[in-house]
Structure 1
Amino acid sequence: MNDRLPPLEDMTAEQRAAAARIASGPRGALFGPFVPLLRSPELMTRLQLVGEFLRFGSALDDDLVELVILFVARHWDQDFEYGFHHPLALKAGLPPEVVEAVAHARRPAGDRFATVWDLLDELHRTRQVGDAAYGKALDLLGEERVIEVVGTAGYYTTLAMTMNVARTPPPADAPRLPPRERS
């Protein structure tokens, strides 16, 4: 499949300013979801600021941020996000067996990881979260971090949907999601 929204060759002044802003921040370059999003420079700028906070300023532990991102990548079958974040997840301390479980859409071992998985899984399957999953997540994370789990999932869902529509190619030589297992 070809990239429907590849890098722009000619940019408007607004697009150039938005691209320069993202390149001057912690990401250091315009890539991945920001390439198609640049078609709407104001939306891209506002979204990337949310993402910048969630990735680089969140109260949520880095390994849990990466768990959420990998969960969303699997949910949306999004190879760019998975391939880009796979090494970041390992570097953040997410155990390889947890990364592998998420890649196969399986509940990971470990109370912290399973609790976040349960919250996200229930939310994505039922569009709600019951008292048991919410209470366990609240006990583990507290209100601020529960909200940041949900906000991170929502942000990365937006990126995944955008890249799926755009057919954004994954990074070269990056890991890919395994095919979904039939149940």
Structure 2
Amino acid sequence: MTSAFDALGTPQGFGLSTAERLPIPEREAMSDAQRAAADAIMNGPRKAIFGPFVPLLQTPTLMERIGKTGEALRFDGTLPDRIRELAICVVARETGNQFEWQTHAPLAIKAGVAAEAIDSLAAGRRPRSLSADEACTVDFVYELMRRHGVSDETYAESTSCFGAPGTVELTALVGYFAMVCWIMNVARTPGPGGSKTPALTSFPA
């Protein structure tokens, strides 16, 4: 049975209310530290304050440090774009986060992940017909998200595909995006405006 919420997408934060808890403050209402942090984000590779950086602006020092970590993982990482975007999509699906899902699902497809794989994730199924490194990524992220660690076999597959440095990077990527998804879920930060990617619905019972 489909609920009214599922028809529109699961509310970010999973509550009955969809009101954003921590919207971006007016610039005049920002502290000096908030304005400086906001300017740093806008002058960096992101060019705007959006997604997790809206609630993170409540703590400018944390926003700056987290932002630098995200930059390192997204813009200076060694994992192929296709693998990175697929991993982010798995995290977004597992956390039920609309912003990261609607942002990164089209980026994953653009990077070379099959649209059918993204559709399977959205439906709550493990994708099939993946390449070897994509299957390794999905297994690693699922296991890490659900068990908070990985088996020797999964670790060996990951180091075979990505090496020890790549495995550390993949683990950090999962942790980073889980963190920002949780922050947005708590803050009820909405998904990106005008997205053509359907919102996530609840996992099948």
Pairwise TM-score range, normalised by the shorter structure? over 0.9
Q: Which residue of 1 aligns with 2:8?
A: none
CA drift at 1:138: 0.8
**Relative contact order, higher structure (CA 8 A, sep 6+):** 2
Once the two structures are superposed, the pairs formed by residues 94-133 of structure 1 within 5 Å of their partners are 94-108=113-127, 109-110=129-130, 111-133=132-154
Counterpart CA distance in 1 for 2:57 and 2:178 is: 17
TM-score, normalised by the number of residues in structure 1? 0.95
2:162 is aligned with what amino acid? L
Once the two structures are superposed, the pairs formed by residues 76-95 of structure 1 within 5 Å of their partners are 76-95=95-114
Q: Which residue of 2 aligns with 1:179?
A: 202
SS of the residue corresponding to residue 178 of structure 2 reads helix
Q: Which residue of 2 aligns with 1:147?
A: 168
Q: Which residue of 2 aligns with 1:12?
A: 31
Residue of structure 1 aligned with 2:179, choices 147, 158, 174 = 158
Residues 80-131 of structure 1 deviation map (CA, whole Å, 9 limit, x = unaligned): 1101112221222222112112222322232211111111111222222111
CA drift at 1:67: 0.9
- Does the aligned pair in 2 maintain the 1:67–1:113 contact within 8 Å? yes
SS of the residue corresponding to residue 178 of structure 1 reads coil
Residue of structure 2 aligned with 1:53, choices 72, 75, 95 = 72
Counterpart CA distance in 1 for 2:133 and 2:200 is: 23
Residue of structure 2 aligned with 1:34, choices 53, 64, 73 = 53
Q: Which runs of 5+ in 2 are unaligned?
A: 1-17
RMSD: 1.1
Q: Which residue of 2 aligns with 1:43?
A: 62
1:3 correspondence with 2:20: yes
Q: Which residue of 1 aligns with 2:81?
A: 62
1:113 is aligned with what amino acid? E
Q: Which residue of 1 aligns with 2:6?
A: none
Find the structure with the greater CA-based Rg.
Answer: 2
Greater displacement, 113-122 / 84-93 = 84-93
Counting aligned pairs with the same residue, the percent is: 41
Counterpart CA distance in 1 for 2:149 and 2:50 is: 33
SS of the residue corresponding to residue 169 of structure 2 reads helix
Counterpart CA distance in 1 for 2:200 and 2:82 is: 19
- Does the aligned pair in 1 maintain the 2:91–2:145 contact within 8 Å? no
Counterpart CA distance in 2 for 1:30 and 1:126 is: 33
Q: Which residue of 1 aligns with 2:43?
A: 24
CA drift at 1:140: 0.8
Q: Which residue of 2 aligns with 1:170?
A: 191
TM-score, normalised by the number of residues in structure 2? 0.85
Counterpart CA distance in 1 for 2:192 and 2:20 is: 13
